[in-house]
Amino acid sequence: MASTRLALAALGAGATLLVSACGTDSSDPDASSGSAAASSSGAPSEPVVTPVVGSVMFAPTPFAGSDGNNHLVYEVSLTNYMRTPVTIAGVEVLDATADDEPLLVLDENGVRTRLKPTGAPSVPPAPGAPEEYSQVLAPGQNGVLFLHVVFSTEAPKQLVHEVSVRADAAPPGMREVDERIAPVTVSDSTVPVLGPPLVGERYIAADACCDAVRHTRAILPLNGSPVLAQRYAVDWEQADADGRIFVGDAKDPASYRIFGDDVLAVADGTVVASRNDLPEQTPGSFPADLAIADADGNNLVLDIGDGFYVNYAHMQPGSVRFAPGDRVRRGDVIGKVGNSGNSVAPHLHVHVMNGPEFLGSQGVPSVTEEFTITGRVADTAAFDVSEGTGVPLRLVPGVTESTHEDQMILDQNIVTFTAG
């Protein structure tokens, strides 16, 4: 069997500023650490007051998506140092090495659907905006701006962010400020090319990259740092020939089409962690008071080399075949799809990360060596209805069958995997 393949893929207004630090800790040394872009000449630059400071939390790595485009997915931590609320009225992601060409432009409404303040929302969520998201940061409040940049050309090497800040209660000179903050070097890390985690037809990439919020925005404060292990995670489910995720008793895991399917090693590797003793959950609702250590249920973490680890979660009790220290080969059956841990319906959760801790590592992108797209679910809401009620999936019309290589399978695509 082949081993893992890699694809290269105004000081006068200072009285209005908070003087205490308001934690925008960056968890990545390659990400930005300052609030203002450095001078390209290396000479000292004139200090500029930036009422909102920010840094990129983890430097993004470009990858090819199944839509034929290239993508960058990352987060900017923003903190309001004003003593008044501020509105993030707009954000531009600029290519700092190409005359500041804008790669992504968000107006205030766009910011409102992507900025999640830390703690309680500063204003009620707007219609159509994800729960607890807001373009407003309270005094001293931090928030995370979730960004997704799509491009068809070569990946930018440096990014910087132009942020428009509005503070209606601030002194006149500080009410509208355009800031240039959060510079970052785009990672040139390799992207692992993986085999299929399952073999069969009509597998659905649910809650997958790049704008489905349940995984891509699931930041956790662990061990003193914010981490996003599930940045590129996928929940694999399966439909029958009639487009139904389950048939029969919704409370019985065996009613679900994917339940019991073989889970495959996506690459050669060494098992560094596994769990095999947790019971199946009853589908339909998440378990109450589940310990964080049990969140992934019966799982296996596979070290595939080059600093990459693959996490498989929610397998059937007693089905996990390997223990820490065991070597596996790509295509080996490592377990069976179940409904253990923090799961509402039988599925296989898979994500790739930069360390062995399944929640305490940073999620990194990967691509699948070969797959065939046969359809696409209309959206997450349509998927949720089908998963919750058993009605056939509502699909995007006119999706033609297409075979893909070395791409990330994006959200709600329906695919066929073959052995290999």
- Domain spans of the chain, in order of start: 5-185, 193-417
Angle at 211 between CA 129 and CA 308, to 5 degrees: 145
Per-residue confidence (pLDDT) for residue 17, from 0 to 100: 52
Per-residue confidence (pLDDT) for residue 366, from 0 to 100: 99
Strand partners, 30: none
- Predicted confidence pLDDT, tens digits, the chain (420 residues): 444 444 543 223 333 455 433 344 444 545 554 444 444 456 777 888 899 999 999 999 999 999 999 999 999 999 999 999 999 999 999 999 988 899 999 999 999 999 999 874 445 556 666 678 999 999 999 999 999 999 999 999 999 999 999 999 888 888 999 999 999 999 999 999 999 999 999 999 999 999 999 999 999 999 999 999 999 999 999 999 999 999 999 999 999 999 999 999 999 999 999 999 999 999 999 999 899 999 999 999 999 999 999 999 999 999 999 999 999 999 999 999 999 999 999 999 999 999 999 999 999 999 999 999 999 999 999 999 999 999 999 999 999 999 999 999 999 999 999 987
Q: Which helix (H) or strand (E) holds 382?
A: helix 380-389
Could you tell me if 266 and 1 are in contact, meaning their C-beta atoms sit under 8 angstroms apart? Answer: no
Angle at 136 between CA 217 and CA 151, to 5 degrees: 45
CATH domain 5-185 topology: Immunoglobulin-like (2.60.40)
Per-residue confidence (pLDDT) for residue 170, from 0 to 100: 84
Q: Which helix (H) or strand (E) holds 75?
A: strand 70-80
Two structure tokens written together for 216: 């891509």
Q: Which residue carries 């003593």 as its tokens?
A: 83
**How many CB atoms neighbour CB 109 within 10 A?**
12
Q: What CATH architecture does domain 193-417 belong to?
A: Distorted Sandwich (2.70)
Per-residue confidence (pLDDT) for residue 30, from 0 to 100: 52
Q: What is the DSSP string of 295-351?
A: TT-EEEEEEEETTEEEEEEEEPTT-----TT-EE-TT-EEEEBB-BSS-SSSBEEEE
What is the sign of the dihedral through the CA atoms of 96, 101, 103 and 107? positive
Residue 282 identity (one-letter amino acid): T
Cα separation, 68 vs 367, in Å, equals: 13
Cα atoms in the Cβ-side hemisphere of radius 13 Å centred on 118: 18
User: Coil, helix or strand for 147?
Assistant: strand
